[in-house]
Amino acid sequence: MSDNDFITQVMDGLKEQGYLMIPDDFIDQLIITLHANVTAINSLIEIVKVENELLALRCALPTGSRQVESLKELSTRIAEIAFNVEDVRNDQR
C-alpha cells in the first residue's frame, strides 16, 4: 500500500467516525483571512455610507441603504464563520 493510499484510507476512516483533523496552520490562516474579509467589508460599508451622503447632498436620488444593510449582514455572517472555525480549532487541541 502506498503512502497516498494509506493517507486516503485514514482520512476516510476519520470522516466516517466524525473526526477530521485539520492542520492548525490551515485553520489559523483561514481565521486570519476571514477576519481580513470582515475588515475589508466594514471599510466598504463606510465608503458606501459616505458615497450615499454625497449623493443625497447633490440630488434627490435614492441612496444605497439596502446595499449597506446587505454588506453588514455579509460581514456578520463571515465573522460568525470565523468564530465557528476558531471553535473547531480549539476543540481539536
For 5-50, how does the pLDDT look when each residue is reduced to its tens digit (9 = 90+)?
Answer: 777 787 777 767 766 667 778 888 888 999 999 999 999 999 988 8
Contact 48, 64 (CB under 8 A): yes
* The dihedral formed by the CA atoms of 77, 83, 88 and 90, expressed in degrees to the nearest 10: 180
Check residue 56 and give its pLDDT: 74
For 50-81, how does the pLDDT look when each residue is reduced to its tens digit (9 = 90+)?
Answer: 888 887 777 655 556 777 888 888 888 888 88
pTM for the full predicted model:
0.61
